[in-house]
């Protein structure tokens, strides 16, 4: 590792092969925590290259615990995190709204590293038990319409770096990797990113996968449709900027979508929204993200149709039923 660090400190970048080797070694506990922390810090000082990101991704996928869900129409809604905004768990809530419409969701998530409550924190707090065997996950898809894939159970390298990431408390390149390494390999993916540079990188990499994808970035810095301002939307077909009014009927404020100051508060907000008892702003933001995910599947005529389906899923209680079924399986 010392040789690699000295190489990187000279402002050089790794090839995809070199990057892959480093991450494979991290998963095998070849390096100590200080070496890994120093390595991670390099990418806080400069942008990651596409070759490096591809190498890291390929390493995670190579040693990933395989999952067979026997469904080629799965969708994932995921944000990179790391935007520093401490919103409530919008993308995870959106997953249950989508599941309530009858679409099948394979949600990939993790504990929060730079935020108070990641998707895994809130799911655990709500009573969900993480699983990794394909039989159980498939059963969840069939009965609840959604399954949750807790990243460290499937990716050995993520388990190794988890305490280091938490101690650092800032976003790292592992935030960028999460959405690329869903073990279920969903056909459709809505990805929220924290800046436009990352949006361009994701666009390049997702174009090569053959997936239906939509990348979203709120121009005021959120890794999701926040409705606090305009949103950049990038799909297989091109890109555009959409206003908060067109996405969610009106603009909301940052305080409207604040996520609380503890995991317990985050879980309480989550349950309240899913029961249909959230504020207008909370509902609107979740519905907008769910509608964008539905549109990503290519099954529907337009965004407005998708938004109405999302509204029906929430107001009918179907989305909440998906959560209750999932927790009780």
Question: What is the residue-wise DSSP string for 225-279?
Answer: --SSS-EEEEETTEEEEE-HHHHHSS---TGGGB--SSHHHHHHHHHHHHTT-S-
pLDDT, position 71:
87
At CA 244, angle to CA 241 and CA 245, rounded to 5?
115
> Both 55 and 112 in a single domain?
no
The pLDDT of 156-184, averaged and rounded, is: 84
Q: How many residues does the chain have?
A: 329
Q: Could you tell me how many helices (H) and strands (E) the chain has, helices first? A: 16, 7
Identify the weakest region by mean pLDDT among 35-49, 161-175, 242-256, 292-306: 161-175
Say if residue 189's pLDDT is above 70.
yes
Which residues on adjacent β-strands are paired with residue 189?
A: 76, 213
190 and 92 inside one domain: yes
- The pLDDT assigned to 114 comes to 65
CA 252/CA 247 separation, integer angstroms? 12
| Distance, CA of 150 to CA of 103 (rounded, Å) | 20
In this prediction, residues 100-108 reach a mean pLDDT of 97
Co-location of 270 and 249 in the same domain: yes
Same-domain status, 42 and 100 = no
On whether residue 68 sits in a domain, the answer given is no
Mean pLDDT of 23-41: 93
Whether residue 279 has pLDDT greater than 90:
yes
CATH number for position 19: 1.20.970.10
On whether both 30 and 81 belong to a single domain, the answer is: no
Residue 189 is assigned to a structural domain of this protein: yes
Residue 84 has pLDDT above 70, yes or no: yes
Nearest to 54 by CA among 106, 15, 2: 15
Angle value at C-alpha 117, between 230 and 56, nearest 5 degrees: 80
Domain end, chosen from 14, 31, 62, is at: 62
**Residues 123, 220 within the same domain:** yes
Whether 79 is in a domain gets the answer: yes
Q: pLDDT of 217-269, one tens digit each?
A: 999 999 999 999 999 999 999 999 999 999 988 899 999 998 888 999 999 99
Within a domain: residue 70? no
Residues 100 and 56 in one domain: no
Q: Which domain holds residue 220?
A: 75-328
Please tell me whether residues 22 and 82 are part of one structural domain.
no
Q: Are 57 and 133 in a shared domain?
A: no
Number of folded domains that form the chain: 2
- The label of the residue with tokens 């400069």 reads 46
* Within-domain flag for 102: yes
Tell me the pTM.
0.93
Do 134 and 232 belong to one domain?
A: yes
Predicted local confidence at residue 249, as pLDDT: 80
- For residue 204, give the 3-state DSSP assignment: helix
Residues 198 and 101 in one domain: yes
pLDDT digits (tens, 9 = 90+) for 110-160: 988 667 788 999 999 999 999 999 999 999 999 999 999 999 999 888 888
Checking if the pLDDT of 85 tops 90, the result is no
Mean pLDDT along residues 98-103? 98
94 and 35 share one domain: no
Q: Looking at the domain assignment, is residue 67 inside a domain?
A: no
Is residue 267 included in any domain, yes or no? yes
Examine residue 69 and state whether it is found in any structural domain, yes or no: no
CATH label of the domain that carries residue 271: 3.40.1030.10
Average pLDDT, integer, range 33-48: 92
- Residue 25: pLDDT above 80? yes
């Amino acid at each position: 590792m010392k040789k690699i660090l000295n190489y990187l400190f000279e402002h050089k970048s790794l090839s995809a092969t070199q990057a892959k080797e480093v991450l494979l070694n991290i998963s095998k506990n070849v390096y100590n925590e200080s070496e890994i922390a120093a390595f991670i810090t390099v990418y806080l000082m400069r942008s990651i290259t596409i070759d490096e990101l591809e190498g890291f991704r390929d390493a995670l996928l190579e040693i990933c615990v395989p999952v067979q869900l026997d469904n080629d129409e799965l969708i994932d809604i995921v944000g990179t995190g790391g935007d520093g905004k401490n919103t409530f768990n919008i993308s995870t809530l959106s997953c249950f709204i989508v599941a309530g419409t009858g679409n099948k969701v394979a949600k990939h998530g993790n504990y929060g590293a730079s935020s108070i409550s990641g998707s895994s924190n809130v799911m655990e707090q709500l009573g969900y038990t993480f699983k990794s065997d394909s039989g159980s996950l498939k059963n969840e898809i069939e009965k609840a319409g959604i399954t949750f894939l807790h990243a460290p159970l499937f990716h050995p390298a993520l388990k190794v770096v988890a305490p280091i990431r938490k101690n650092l408390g800032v976003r790292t390149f592992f935030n960028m990797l999460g959405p690329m390494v869903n073990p279920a390999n969903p056909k459709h993916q809505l990805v929220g990113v924290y800046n436009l540079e990352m949006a361009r990188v994701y666009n390049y990499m997702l174009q090569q996968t053959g997936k239906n994808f939509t990348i979203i970035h709120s121009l005021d810095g959120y890794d999701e449709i926040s409705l606090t301002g305009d949103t950049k939307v990038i799909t297989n077909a091109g890109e555009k900027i959409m206003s908060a009014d067109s996405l969610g009927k009106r603009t909301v404020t940052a305080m409207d979508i604040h996520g609380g100051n503890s995991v317990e508060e985050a879980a309480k907000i989550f349950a309240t929204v899913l029961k249909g008892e959230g504020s207008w702003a909370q509902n609107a933001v979740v519905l907008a993200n769910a509608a964008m995910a539905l549109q990503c599947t290519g099954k529907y005529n337009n965004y407005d149709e998708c938004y109405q389906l999302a509204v029906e899923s929430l107001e009918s209680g179907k989305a909440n039923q998906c959560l209750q079924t999932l927790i009780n399986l």
